[in-house]
Amino acid sequence: MRSPVSSASTVGLLLATIVSSGACARAVTTAPSQAPERPASAATAPARPTSSPVIAALTSARAERVADSLLALMTLDEKLGQLAQMTGRGTQTGPAAPEGGEAQIRAGRVGTFLNIHGAAVTRELQRIAVEESRLHVPLLFALDVIHGFRTIFPVPLAEAASFDPANAERAARVAATEGSAHGLHWTFAPMVDIARDPRWGRIVEGSGEDPYLGSVMAAARVRGFQGDDLAAPNALLATAKHFAVYGAAEGGRDYASADVSERTIWEIYFPPFQAAVRAGVGSLMASFNDIGGTPAHASRWLLDDVLRRRWGFAGIVVSDWAGIEELIPHGVAASKEEAGVLALTAGVDVDMVDGIYADSLPAAQRAGRLPMAAIDSSVRRLLRVKYALGLFDDPYRRSDTTRERTMTLTAEHVAAAREAGRRAIVLLKNDARTLPLRKDLRTIAVIGPLAESAQTVLGNWAAEGKAADAVSVLAGLRAAAGGGTRVLYARGAPVDTADTSGFAEAARLARSADAVVLVLGERENMSAEAASRASIELPGAQLRLAQRVLRAARASAGGATKPVVAVLMNGRPLATPWLADSVPALVESWFLGVQHGNALADVLFGDYNPGGKLPVTVPRATGQVPIHYNHRNTGRPPAAEDHFTSKYIDVPWTPLYPFGHGLSYTTFDYRDLQLSAAELRAGDTLGVSVTVANSGDRAGDEVVQLYLRDDAASVARPVRELKRFERITLRPGESRTVRFAIGAEEMALYDVAMRRVVEPGAFTVFVGTSSADTREARFRVTGDTLVLAPAPPRIR
Ligand code: BGC
């Protein structure tokens, strides 16, 4: 059957038709109306993200008109087809539609794809959608573009270590430029889950343990992916994921239940999502876990009460991979239909891969078990997103073979990846100025199972990243070493087995070389999804390898003077107390992407002075987990001299390295910490200034960190919380006064009734170089308690 608009051969024409035709206008008025969204009263609706041009496009009258007009023409199957997301399949020539995919497109049974990219293939599938399907609705193509598309940047945890949102924004911009040139519209990033448990492998995908750092990075990445105009050919729709509390998986086991207090959810897990929404993120992904018994995919509280009503989110929610079907093993749905009804009515718009919406919901709707209004709301939201992406004006905008050819792995992108890598490296320890290494050494022994790998440096979720594009540690050091330096290599041991057969060769090399670089850690597939570890110590025989190598190096040097440097590569903090105690220099290099080896060599040889800081607390032992700097004090804070305090009897209570820690080849002095007032009224802004001087002999970066504590409040507060930071560069001898403004939002807490309030009383400001190395000043808030926002909707 031909539709009233089937003569329109392009979507542009379709758009013109549907917005101008009286028939469609009539259809709009007779179409089933959207489920009324309760108007959020001024009191319950904290700032809607209206400042974002992306949100303005999503919510524009024209987007609404296009969506309504199309909706009025759709059959039930076409509506549910829009909400169906299918995955592509890999072929020898690249990703392609799944078996029968073209027929599904023609029939209007699919609205979006993931895992299909490439200008030619997306153009052809798009052509089928806009020319051969009844309503010509364009498709969306999605992929996990997490830290780069082909030019792979540092993994997100590493990028957070740069404490540099501009750096993260740039990386996301490059990723969007490359991904969109390959026909993509949509990325499933940024992951903004807070992780306090490094056993959880997905800690590598986020910004670590701190909600403020996580929020700043979330907003930066959203801006980077989306830009100001979603319709621009180089913009990708961003996805804040996984909503929510996924990082609190019990025992650090991926997919496990999260059972944390509402307070912790609001204080710790929600802020980065809120920041992403404020930055105009166009989509969110539901998380696999349940929260206290309600799986996120079935949580009206999460997806409707909080996300749409409280935060005013106007974009789409996508399920995670088969997350709707998983409501059955979760034990909250007895059938696929029940699972689909639960998810859709909770607010999951797009059904990733399990086919439940398209297959099981038509019957549910016809039998009266699912209101049409719920389906319409989801379809409307998706169509508005397609509109905002510019697809109704030009569905082929991102499928352009010239852009694909010229915008991939460009010299500029690769240079940006190298800079991002340098900025992410954290110098954990550097006794006796072991680093930087001299460039005139005769021989350097590079030892360890990861040094040679050009795959591991890419990290997990590396999209189209290729080992052939990447620089291993060994290759980077060889390229950077002076002409007279021989860089020798011994693997020493495999990453994660007990094999010690390579120890003797490694020890021989360590004895003969002028300096030793040990490269230790985890392969890229030992963190990320479904890669939780019960022990976060160095795997396999690597620790013993390091011990043997250090012994050999010391024996040959007749003391401890031969430089020995340990470089860690990992997607989670590793508990390496022996290394920290014994090796004179320790460098955290994470997985830095295609330029890993070059970026690391820049740091090891001193061409770049490291300035990264830890975005996570590094424990001494797995048994300390969860360990995070912003814990509450308890009634019995740890004290060495008092047995009955909150600590262990077999390991110190302190971390191996605290959150925010990171050294430089120069030194910084802090002085003149000043507050603009000793007393202020709730709602007033406090000015904080501190002067930082580079007291060493080379230029360097320092991340100036500001923490705050409400000293006595109606509920116990964390011992300190990061509220501001700034990464600055200082020449030797240069000093700078850094100024921060601390407003009501920074001083606020959720009171016992969960209202957001600023309470009168004493506060302490801490400013310094890490969460454990600060100077402090105090101020008082006077007057009455100031209520910033009423209590949020309670969990249901
Ligand atoms: C992951 C998501 C990812 C999705 C699509 C899932 O297994 O949890 O983070 O976006 O797959 O690839």
pLDDT in tens, 681-735: 999 999 999 999 999 999 999 999 999 999 999 999 999 999 999 999 999 999 9
Specify which residues 45 forms β-bridges with. none
Ligand 1 contact, 205 CB (< 6 A): no
Residue 245 near residue 291, CB atoms below 8 Å: yes
* Mean pLDDT over the full length of the chain: 94
Please tell me the predicted confidence (pLDDT) of residue 48.
Answer: 52
* Percent of the chain predicted with pLDDT > 70: 93
pLDDT value at 116 more than 60: yes
Please tell me the predicted confidence (pLDDT) of residue 557.
Answer: 77
Specify which residues 749 forms β-bridges with. 757
pLDDT value at 46 more than 60: no
Residue 246 near residue 284, CB atoms below 8 Å: no
For the ranges 33-37, 193-197, 349-353, 719-723, which has the lowest average pLDDT? Answer: 33-37
Q: Give the Cβ contact number of residue 315 at 10 Å.
A: 28
Q: What is the mean pLDDT of residues 364-372?
A: 98
Longest dimension (CA), the chain: 91
Looking at ligand 1, which residue's alpha carbon is closest to its atom 10? Answer: 188
Alpha carbon of 35 to ligand 1 centroid (Å): 29
- What are the distances in angstroms from CA 67 to CA 379, 382, 392, 447, 568? 8, 8, 11, 60, 51
Residue 138 near residue 112, CB atoms below 8 Å: no
Q: What is the mean pLDDT of residues 482-497?
A: 96
**All domains in the chain, ordered by first residue:** 4-74+100-145+184-393 (3.20.20.300), 417-624 (3.40.50.1700), 668-789 (2.60.40.10)
pLDDT value at 85 more than 80: yes
CA distance 416 to 151: 9
Alpha carbon of 92 to ligand 1 centroid (Å): 23
Name 621's Cβ contacts closer than 8 Å, sequence gap at least 6.
Answer: 537, 575, 577, 651
Residue 679 near residue 779, CB atoms below 8 Å: yes
* Percent of the chain predicted with pLDDT > 90: 91
Q: What is the mean pLDDT of residues 362-385?
A: 98
Please tell me the predicted confidence (pLDDT) of residue 53.
Answer: 87
Strand order across the 316-318 sheet: 239-243, 283-286, 316-318
Please tell me the predicted confidence (pLDDT) of residue 28.
Answer: 32
Q: Name the pairing type of β-strands 84-87 and 351-352.
A: parallel
pLDDT value at 501 more than 80: yes
Ligand 1 contact, 321 CB (< 6 A): yes
Alpha carbon of 241 to ligand 1 centroid (Å): 9
Q: Give the Cβ contact number of residue 609 at 10 Å.
A: 19
Residue 782 near residue 679, CB atoms below 8 Å: yes
Ligand 1 contact, 394 CB (< 6 A): no
Ligand 1 contact, 241 CB (< 6 A): yes
Q: Name the pairing type of β-strands 294-295 and 94-96.
A: unpaired
Catalytic residue among 68, 144, 320, 349, which? 320
DSSP class of residue 228 equals S
Backbone torsions φ then ψ of 564, nearest 5 degrees: -125, 125
Ligand 1 contact, 668 CB (< 6 A): no
Specify which residues 694 forms β-bridges with. 668
Looking at ligand 1, which residue's alpha carbon is closest to its atom 5? Answer: 321
Ligand 1 contact, 779 CB (< 6 A): no
Please tell me the predicted confidence (pLDDT) of residue 52.
Answer: 83
Ligand 1 contact, 246 CB (< 6 A): no
Q: Tokens standing for 45?
A: 């609706």
Higher pLDDT, 40 or 667: 667
Q: Which atom of ligand 1 is nearest to the CA of 188?
A: 10
Residue 359 is a catalytic residue: no
Backbone torsions φ then ψ of 586, nearest 5 degrees: -135, 125
Q: Tokens standing for 443?
A: 């021989």
Please tell me the predicted confidence (pLDDT) of residue 6.
Answer: 37
- What are the distances in angstroms from CA 424 to CA 587, 612, 655, 727? 11, 5, 21, 12
For the ranges 40-44, 477-481, 523-527, 634-638, which has the lowest average pLDDT? Answer: 40-44
Ligand 1 contact, 188 CB (< 6 A): yes
Question: Nearest-CA neighbor of 572 among 585, 586, 588?
Answer: 588
Estimate to the nearest angstrom the gap between the alpha carbon of 517 and the chain centroid: 30
Residue from 143, 188, 318 whose mutation best tests the ligand 1 pocket (most atoms within 8 A of CB): 188
Q: Tokens standing for 771?
A: 């969460």
CA distance 521 to 587: 11
Please tell me the predicted confidence (pLDDT) of residue 93.
Answer: 85
Q: Give the Cβ contact number of residue 495 at 10 Å.
A: 21
pLDDT value at 204 more than 80: yes
Q: What is the mean pLDDT of residues 620-649?
A: 97
Place of tokens 């909400």: 83
Cis amide linkage into residue 626, ω under 30° from 0? yes
**Band of residue 14 on the pLDDT scale cut at 50, 70, 90:** low
pLDDT value at 166 more than 50: yes
Q: Tokens standing for 245?
A: 């509390």
Please tell me the predicted confidence (pLDDT) of residue 18.
Answer: 53
**Band of residue 202 on the pLDDT scale cut at 50, 70, 90:** very high
Alpha carbon of 141 to ligand 1 centroid (Å): 15
Q: What is the mean pLDDT of residues 425-447?
A: 97
Please tell me the predicted confidence (pLDDT) of residue 427.
Answer: 99
Q: Which atom of ligand 1 is nearest to the CA of 242?
A: 9
Ligand 1 contact, 202 CB (< 6 A): no
Residue 68 near residue 57, CB atoms below 8 Å: no
Looking at ligand 1, which residue's alpha carbon is closest to its atom 11? Answer: 321
Q: Tokens standing for 543?
A: 């620790």
Looking at ligand 1, which residue's alpha carbon is closest to its atom 7? Answer: 321
Ligand 1 contact, 496 CB (< 6 A): no
Opening angle at CA 756, ends 40 and 166, nearest 5 = 90
Q: What is the mean pLDDT of residues 452-460?
A: 98
Terminal alpha carbon distance of the chain: 45
Question: Nearest-CA neighbor of 516 among 586, 445, 568, 582?
Answer: 445
Residue 192 near residue 276, CB atoms below 8 Å: yes
Estimate to the nearest angstrom the gap between the alpha carbon of 354 and the chain centroid: 25
pLDDT value at 663 more than 50: yes
Please tell me the predicted confidence (pLDDT) of residue 281.
Answer: 97
Q: Which atom of ligand 1 is nearest to the CA of 205?
A: 9
Q: What is the mean pLDDT of residues 91-120?
A: 95
Alpha carbon of 183 to ligand 1 centroid (Å): 19
CA distance 164 to 37: 38
